[in-house]
Amino acid sequence: EAQVTQNPRYLITVTGKKLTVTCSQNMNHEYMSWYRQDPGLGLRQIYYSMNVEVTDKGDVPEGYKVSRKEKRNFPLILESPSPNQTSLYFCASSDRENTGELFFGEGSRLTVL
């Protein structure tokens, strides 16, 4: 089954404690992206990757890092989380062909105390 898998789905952490949200896709997509969803603000892009070892900042990259060492994985790293990073995070991938449809993971709800 074609899917994008994120872990963890839910996490409560404290300010300053490094965490990583993993993302894996099994569709051999070159393009992957991270978004955060906040009430009234819709989805905002954090980082994206056009291919292995190629990553670029989105609209709200501050406080986040990513890496793309393999095609299937695109982890999101919060080196020193702060309460304003409390949000719902989505990973997505696309083959960027035809309609450019994005396939989304089920989301990771992060709370930073």
Q: In the complex, which residues of this chain contact other proteins (CB under 8 A)?
A: 4, 35, 40-45, 90, 92, 99-102, 104-107
Which one, 79 or 97, has the nearer CB to other proteins? 97
Which one, 33 or 85, has the nearer CB to other proteins? 33
CB of 21 to other proteins, least distance (A): 14
Alpha carbons 83 and 3: distance in angstroms, whole number: 30
Alpha carbons 25 and 55: distance in angstroms, whole number: 16
Backbone dihedral angles phi then psi of residue 21, each to the nearest 5 degrees: -105, 120
Alpha carbons 108 and 86: distance in angstroms, whole number: 10
CB of 94 to other proteins, least distance (A): 9
